[in-house]
Amino acid sequence: MADLTYTPPKVWTWDQPNGGEFAGINRPTAGARFERELPRGQHPFQLHSLGTPNGQKVTIMLEELLAAGYEAEYDAWLISISDSDQFSSGFVSINPNSKIPALLDLSGPEPVRVFESGSILFHLAEKFGAFMPTSGPGRTECMNWLMWQMGSAPMLGGGFGHFYAYAPEKYQYPIDRYAMEAKRILDVADKRLGETRYLAGDEYTIADIAAYGWFGGFVRGDAYGDAATFLDVPSCENLMRWGEELGAREPVRRGRIVNRKGEGFVPERHSAADIDAVLNT
């Protein structure tokens, strides 16, 4: 058996990709790697994203706003992270962190850049006065659960998801370590949803939209291969009830398929007809 013991050097240096699905694009430095302007459509909101759990949060939110009658028309442009689109000068000008999603709000006198999925949800909720209480304890509780989700996502994705599904080799220690944390996070949600219909209380809010981006895949059973079985997600009955209820919402169904390639998906969205054409086939 190979010796798996690793002795860290005094000063870490990066000299080669470390393997895994995204090894070819990961580097320990920030900033643009090449010059390219981003396209711009005709709508007030220009979204540059990919339909990952974090990306789905924003398209679901925009579809919810549209369904509720708000003027939230948007263009959704595909950012292929495997092709390093997130390192273009245009994308970095919106999000210096080179992560999707990134939003350019053109609805006011000056363009406003918004990055990080939680910030985008908050920006849109505050702008339209929707899907978030406007004051008092309800607003604070909504923000509590939104920030809880933002803090939990790296444990589910970069932690559990990476070592369970994407790492070049499977090792028990990191999988066990992050599976334990993933199970704990799922249990937090399950216990909370045993108390209330939605995460922040009796009303559907951006806290639910944010959480569904991640938990929805576990509820549906399509996150990280067979991860839902591995983590015994169906035993979380309250979480399953909540996830199935949200998954049946029309705006959620619409938002989930945007900025994704393949049959049944919409790589770019520039009007409602783009999604209608897929869902109505």
Q: Where are the domains of the chain?
A: 45-131, 136-248
Report, as an integer, the average pLDDT of 99-113: 97
Report, as an integer, the average pLDDT of 14-29: 77
Residue 19: pLDDT above 70?
Answer: no
Q: State residue 198's pLDDT score.
A: 98
More confident: 6 or 38: 38
Instruction: Please give the class, per CATH, of domain 136-248.
Output: mainly alpha
Integer angstrom CA distances of residue 228 from 198, 236, 237: 21, 11, 13
Q: State residue 131's pLDDT score.
A: 98
Round to whole Å and give the CA distance between 126 and 118: 12
Q: What is the CATH number of domain 45-131?
A: 3.40.30.10
pTM of the model: 0.95
Residue 2: pLDDT above 60?
Answer: no
Range of lowest pLDDT (17-26, 103-112, 163-172, 218-227): 17-26
Integer angstrom CA distances of residue 113 from 28, 59, 107, 208: 24, 16, 11, 24
**Could you tell me the pLDDT band of residue 1, with boundaries at 50, 70 and 90?**
very low
Round to whole Å and give the CA distance between 281 and 267: 16
